[in-house]
Structure 1
């Protein structure tokens, strides 16, 4: 046998010298060469991207920083002589910043809004910090204590000495945060129930879930907001009139729940059948199986989809202005009619401030999502 192997036609007859190990190129230049200049097509795309950066960013930096006006008391500070390029009027944003944050909320009561923002930051931070101590207590705070305290704090309660502030005076970032928090908090549990209902073996529950999901996903959010604003009072007793802020909150929560249900349903379908069979084999009931085995795995799989729904919902809060709520974008538009600050760059400055606000929050959610993915190793590494 050894003779045949040594004389086989497919065996190397001469000794080959050992080659050195491959050199691993590292550093920024190696990364650029490997990712941006690895082929003629990549070189062309890199040059095109650099050209677009050259066209967009220098004028943007010049408008937002170099030629910008940072201080002033009225429009005169932001007006420039003919022939000169005008920059952003950040003095206008600074003058209207309080209105952008609080809307028309009673001036001497705005400390209550500041406390609400602090309570929100504590609750959100406690829930998002996975290694936070006593996270069970944090859940009780965020889902029970925080909503009650926030409602009493913002609305007022004469019995404890807090002046009543009608929701018609709320506006700006305050309304944007409230609508976002309510939509995000309620859409996840309602979406889970709808996803489970759509996969239920009970025909009535499955049909009701399918109808709700498809109807809500089949119409724009503006339609849902109009329906919530006009039709919600019809489902209540004649002597009850829902608050003008409560109506769009219900509409936003229901709309986001329908989209969340489809995201979670995709995660449930990705769980192997053996997980269900193994859970039932050890005697777990349906809800225990879902709570301990199935849902934790499904939610980890669809973390990017869940965060994508949250980001879309946060941006869609601007649509509540259609039903008369003064969110951040609506407050910016309201200040544009003030003749004290009417300049050619006022409108762009106000919208730029709103864009930066939404970008910071949305990009923050995206970064957190990627961090959670890395921690749970839900991404596929190649």
Structure 2
């Protein structure tokens, strides 16, 4: 007879003690930076590299930098006739200060600078409340920002009416050009991209084919090609003697290019919407316009906010390519200033590029942070 070895415990196992928690800085460092010998070595090496880099960067950018001056002698090395005893100079912020207005508005007439500055003030005054969810009357705010402001900016910047002096767009430049092209591109690309995305998913063969052809054609060529075609080839198809402003061609080229990419971002959001949402909207008796406006599109846009902002950021940086058609944005005007004999030195080009890079980073980082804020605010049903 086999022995019965079945055993049933008569009492519960004593509960284990909760793991020790350490929310202090030392505890966080021990867990994330010094959890093992390998982690400790990598942390120490990375820390030393960061300290070395920051020390030299801060020393060059601020401590050894030249903040005042009227020409290159303020930033020159000893070989070029400078006065620094060690023969080494830091960043030439005096050069940036002297060229700052040019970096902002290009060659815009100096006695008319109040016009772009006034447009900038109006833009900031309308954009800030538009970005704040708690501010009421968003419809009126959007109407002023997207409709009234472009008309006012056109009249003020271009002139030629209401007693204002006409300023050719060839004199525009700097950050002003970057912001104008970006603003127009963002404003145009989102609604056009939505229409293209809906057209690509349409059941009408002609509409679907045209939208697919447009999207694939534009996405298949680089932005430089689009700008080149808008600037050089487009006038060839026009009647002799008729011209289109070069700046307007750049606006059209950038808007078309961004719209094609935006269409694919929006299409990804539409495909992510469950079929039940479409069926639920149909069961309520909504027509196609009502279904897309009130049910489908708000959910799709919410899902692809990162992709939309990523497209905006890429477009903002790609405005530098307008230099191919002799339009000088911030980076283009900075590079053009390198030829000024009054400021030629080994440190001025690097200083100018660092300044331009910082401005681009500031705007791109701001858009990224704001998109995260909007995602957190709208992410009510998909939190994990």
* TM-score between the two structures when normalised by the length of structure 1: 0.92
Q: Are the structure 2 counterparts of residues 38 and 331 from structure 1 closer, same or farther at C-alpha, using a change threshold of 3 Å?
A: same
User: Is 1:87 aligned to 2:84, yes or no?
Assistant: no
Q: Distance in 2 between matches of 1:39 and 1:278?
A: 54
Q: Distance in 2 between matches of 1:11 and 1:377?
A: 50
Structure 2 counterparts to residues 121-270 of structure 1, below 5 A: 121-158=124-161, 160-270=162-272
- Output one character per residue of 1:275-325: Cα deviation in whole Å (capped at 9) or x when no partner: 000001101111111110011101110111111111111111100011000
Q: Distance in 1 between matches of 2:49 and 2:223?
A: 34
Q: Are the structure 2 counterparts of residues 117 and 11 from structure 1 closer, same or farther at C-alpha, using a change threshold of 3 Å?
A: farther
Q: Distance in 2 between matches of 1:377 and 1:101?
A: 38
**Residue pair 1:301, 1:378 contacting (<8 A) in 2 also:** no
User: Is 1:49 aligned to 2:51, yes or no?
Assistant: no
**Residue pair 1:300, 1:378 contacting (<8 A) in 2 also:** no
User: Is 1:310 aligned to 2:307, yes or no?
Assistant: no
Q: Distance in 2 between matches of 1:300 and 1:38?
A: 39
Q: How many residues align?
A: 375
Q: Are the structure 2 counterparts of residues 30 and 232 from structure 1 closer, same or farther at C-alpha, using a change threshold of 3 Å?
A: farther
- Output one character per residue of 1:57-85: Cα deviation in whole Å (capped at 9) or x when no partner: 22211110111000011111112335433
Q: Distance in 1 between matches of 2:28 and 2:372?
A: 22
Query: What is the RMSD of the two structures over their aligned residues, measured on CA atoms?
Result: 2.1
Query: How far has the Cα of 1:257 moved from its partner?
Result: 0.7
Q: Which residue of 54, 62, 66 corresponds with 1:65?
A: 62
Query: How far has the Cα of 1:12 moved from its partner?
Result: 3.0
SS in 1 for 2:113: helix
- Output one character per residue of 1:194-252: Cα deviation in whole Å (capped at 9) or x when no partner: 11111111111111111111111111110010011123334544453111100011000
**Residue pair 1:328, 1:354 contacting (<8 A) in 2 also:** yes
Q: Which moved more, 1:372-381 or 1:57-66?
A: 372-381
- Output one character per residue of 1:324-366: Cα deviation in whole Å (capped at 9) or x when no partner: 0011111111211111111110111111110110010000111
Q: Distance in 2 between matches of 1:48 and 1:381?
A: 37
Q: Are the structure 2 counterparts of residues 11 and 97 from structure 1 closer, same or farther at C-alpha, using a change threshold of 3 Å?
A: farther
Equivalent in the alignment of 2:365 = 363
Q: Distance in 2 between matches of 1:379 and 1:371?
A: 16
SS in 1 for 2:282: helix
Q: Are the structure 2 counterparts of residues 134 and 105 from structure 1 closer, same or farther at C-alpha, using a change threshold of 3 Å?
A: same
Query: How far has the Cα of 1:380 moved from its partner?
Result: 6.4
Q: Distance in 1 between matches of 2:186 and 2:111?
A: 30
User: Is 1:109 aligned to 2:106, yes or no?
Assistant: no
**Residue pair 1:191, 1:258 contacting (<8 A) in 2 also:** yes
SS in 1 for 2:339: coil
Q: Distance in 1 between matches of 2:184 and 2:265?
A: 19
Equivalent in the alignment of 2:71 = 74
Structure 2 counterparts to residues 294-373 of structure 1, below 5 A: 294-373=296-375
Q: Distance in 2 between matches of 1:261 and 1:10?
A: 67
* TM-score between the two structures when normalised by the length of structure 2: 0.92
Give 5+ residue unaligned stretches, structure 2: 80-85
Query: How far has the Cα of 1:9 moved from its partner?
Result: 5.0
Q: Are the structure 2 counterparts of residues 220 and 65 from structure 1 closer, same or farther at C-alpha, using a change threshold of 3 Å?
A: same
Equivalent in the alignment of 1:3 = none
Give 5+ residue unaligned stretches, structure 1: 1-7
Query: How far has the Cα of 1:40 moved from its partner?
Result: 5.2
Q: Are the structure 2 counterparts of residues 81 and 215 from structure 1 closer, same or farther at C-alpha, using a change threshold of 3 Å?
A: same
